[in-house]
Structure 1
Amino acid sequence: MPKSRTVTITRAGFLHGMRETLPLLPGLTVFGMAFGAAAAQKGFSLFEAALSSALVFAGLAQMVALEGWTRTWTPAGLLALGLLTFTINMRHLLMAAAMRPWLGALPPWQSYPSLLLLADNNWASSMRYYAQGGNDAGYFIGSGVITWALWLVSTAAGQIIGGGLPDPKAVAIDLVVPAFFVAMLVPNWRGRREVVGWGVAAAVSVGVSFVLPGWWFIIIGALSGAIAGGFADD
């Protein structure tokens, strides 16, 4: 693979990225509707739920934050929620860094706004496209735009439908987050070496959930798994 390439942004690359993302859209639609339905149960209006997805555009963080949403906030509660969402989205730091050899060749006014479209699905497909020799950044932008648009539309649809659900658990909406996490983990399995980090993270998370209230088990479990995985790595 060459160390440097001429990076372009073309309409053909944009449409290519959109087409490559289409097979991932059904799962994303279900997830977006689940968030919209859960938002309706928390009292969010259609405008508020849609605005959240349009501006935040962070599905897992939005869903987890919604689980702890309350009408009355304290400084400690806000700090805990901020730390939780930061921990969940911290993976984006590494994801964005991995794209620097590609997008770093673009002017800052093009590369940095493009990263606002960064999501798990379009990052994975875009990195595969780049590894195969692609250099058109329009691919990443196109896949990100269609992901953002569908996330927004499915959130709105879920809010409209979910407002009539008496109990989200009755239709298994509460299972969407763990199912999505599992779906994200499986493609990242690289062999038995992963057992150490993943195993420590799972064991610590479960243990902490019985000891500390709230969402601290996510933060502590993630940090424990990362540290254990770092020692296990060559």
Structure 2
Amino acid sequence: MSHPETPSASAAQAQLTLAGMALGLRRVSVLLPGIVVFAVAFGAAASAKGLSLLEALLMSALVYAGVAQLVAMELWRPEWTWGAIAGLAFVTATVNARSILQGASLQPWFARYPRLVNAFQLFVFTDANWLIGTRYRAEGGNDLGVVLGAGLCLWIVWLLATIPGFLLGSLVADPRQYGIDLVMPIFFAAMIVPLWRGRRAALPWVVAGVVALVVAKLVDGYAFIIIGALSGALAGAFLDDAA
């Protein structure tokens, strides 16, 4: 059996090993400082909005939506109506809609595993371990432990870092003040480079980025995320048809 560090493309069987989980943890470790600061910022925002520590921890543990949790805190109200709840649900669903395309891109890999395993690993599925998994698969890897290990590590760190954020209050309420909001884009850029397949394959990335920037300038809110992603997906589909 091949080692997760030098995966074999010929391995077709479903694998889920501790070695794979350890590899996922190592690959995502570079992101942990940024994740800690973002989680601290969420904890501080939750405290400022009047949530209890238990409520903040439950949101981090059960919702576990990263940026969407910070967006939810921006829209949080002391009193709620059904309209306000629907509005919050729509905005956070829009922010997280990218996960639909991310999950679909890895479905041929995930489909080999039992539903219970997939349910658990999708619970801790994030942008970071999606990209780690995508790159790992492109290298010929087949061990789902890489995705699961990275996601589980991020979930634990996010949950634990919510506590000091809540207790410290507004000390780190805005990650942009420290440039921490650049951690994820830099990480994504570094991870995507080895996936380069030439100018033609890069066109959907360019389309998605340009459309997202234009929509962000023209439309308030977070619609640019899903519109940009769908535009890139459509561009990729047309390229495949034309090939």
TM-score (norm 1): 0.80
Q: What is residue 212 of structure 1 aligned with on the other side?
A: none
Cα shift readout 1:9-62 (whole Å, capped 9, x = no counterpart)? 112212222122211111111111111111111111111111100001110111
Pair 1:202 & 2:213 matched:
yes
Q: What is residue 107 of structure 1 aligned with on the other side?
A: 114
Q: What is residue 213 of structure 1 aligned with on the other side?
A: none
Q: What is residue 44 of structure 1 aligned with on the other side?
A: 51
Q: What is residue 218 of structure 1 aligned with on the other side?
A: 222
| Equivalent runs, 1:115-194 vs 2, <5 Å | 115-162=122-169, 165=171, 168=173, 172-173=174-175, 179=181, 183=185, 187=189, 194=205
Q: What is residue 197 of structure 2 aligned with on the other side?
A: none
Q: What is residue 69 of structure 1 aligned with on the other side?
A: 76
Cα shift readout 1:151-181 (whole Å, capped 9, x = no counterpart)? 0011111111116x5x94xxx4466899359
Are 2:37 and 2:175, in contact at CA under 8 Å, matched by a contact in 1? Answer: no
**Rounded Cα–Cα distance in structure 2 between residues aligned with 1:176 and 1:82:** 29
Are 1:65 and 1:81, in contact at CA under 8 Å, matched by a contact in 2? Answer: yes
Pair 1:89 & 2:93 matched:
no
The code of the aligned residue for 1:44 comes to L
**Rounded Cα–Cα distance in structure 2 between residues aligned with 1:100 and 1:228:** 20
Report the Cα offset of residue 202 of structure 1. Answer: 2.9
Q: What is residue 24 of structure 2 aligned with on the other side?
A: 17
**Rounded Cα–Cα distance in structure 1 between residues aligned with 2:83 and 2:183:** 27
Runs of at least 4 residues off by over 2 Å: 1-4, 172-182, 184-209, 221-234
Change (3 A) 1:140 1:201: closer
Percent identity between matched residues is: 35
Q: Which residues of structure 2 form unaligned runs of 5+?
A: 1-7, 194-200
Are 2:131 and 2:188, in contact at CA under 8 Å, matched by a contact in 1? Answer: no
SS of aligned partner of 1:102: helix
Report the Cα offset of residue 7 of structure 1. Answer: 1.4
Are 1:10 and 1:136, in contact at CA under 8 Å, matched by a contact in 2? Answer: yes
Cα shift readout 1:121-150 (whole Å, capped 9, x = no counterpart)? 111112211221211111211111111000
Report the Cα offset of residue 227 of structure 1. Answer: 6.2
Name the stretch that deviates more: 134-143 or 4-13: 4-13
Name the stretch that deviates more: 199-208 or 52-61: 199-208
Change (3 A) 1:15 1:192: closer
Cα shift readout 1:48-88 (whole Å, capped 9, x = no counterpart)? 11110000111011111110000111222111111111111
Name the stretch that deviates more: 188-197 or 27-36: 188-197
C-alpha RMSD of the superposition: 3.0
Q: Which residues of structure 1 form unaligned runs of 5+?
A: 210-216
Change (3 A) 1:54 1:226: closer
The code of the aligned residue for 2:29 comes to L
**Rounded Cα–Cα distance in structure 1 between residues aligned with 2:24 and 2:139:** 14
Are 1:32 and 1:151, in contact at CA under 8 Å, matched by a contact in 2? Answer: yes
**Rounded Cα–Cα distance in structure 2 between residues aligned with 1:79 and 1:103:** 32
**Rounded Cα–Cα distance in structure 2 between residues aligned with 1:176 and 1:68:** 23
Pair 1:29 & 2:36 matched:
yes
Report the Cα offset of residue 208 of structure 1. Answer: 3.3
**Rounded Cα–Cα distance in structure 2 between residues aligned with 1:136 and 1:76:** 44
Pair 1:58 & 2:62 matched:
no
Name the stretch that deviates more: 128-137 or 4-13: 4-13
